[in-house]
Amino acid sequence: MAFGKKNQEEIKEEETKIWLCQSEECNCWMRDNFTTQEEPKCPRCGNAMEASQKVLQVVDNNSIYYKS
Ligand SMILES: [Zn+2]
């Protein structure tokens, strides 16, 4: 994953629980804390999702966007 903008602030990263779409044509994923469902469906294609882990930037609030 590439970030186009260089951020002056120190970016913390940690292993985060995510949900990965199981469809091979769809690379959709979302953070676990963005869904309240136990077994969420992919918002893009409706397929079942699989729990996984991804190293992500730590987000202080519950917003999808982080401050730049
Ligand atoms: Zn999908």
Question: Which residues hold their Cβ within 5 A of ligand 1, which is an ion?
Answer: 21, 23, 26, 28, 42, 44-45, 47
Distance of CA 4 from the midpoint of ligand 1 (Å): 25
What local confidence, expressed as pLDDT, does residue 10 receive? 80
Residue burial 19-55, b: 16+ Cβ < 10 Å; e: rest: bbbeeeeeeeebeeeeeeeeebebeeeeeebeeeeee
Predicted model pTM: 0.65
Q: Read off the pLDDT of residues 9-56 as tens digits, 9 standing for 90 and up.
A: 788 899 999 999 999 999 899 999 888 888 899 999 999 999 999 998
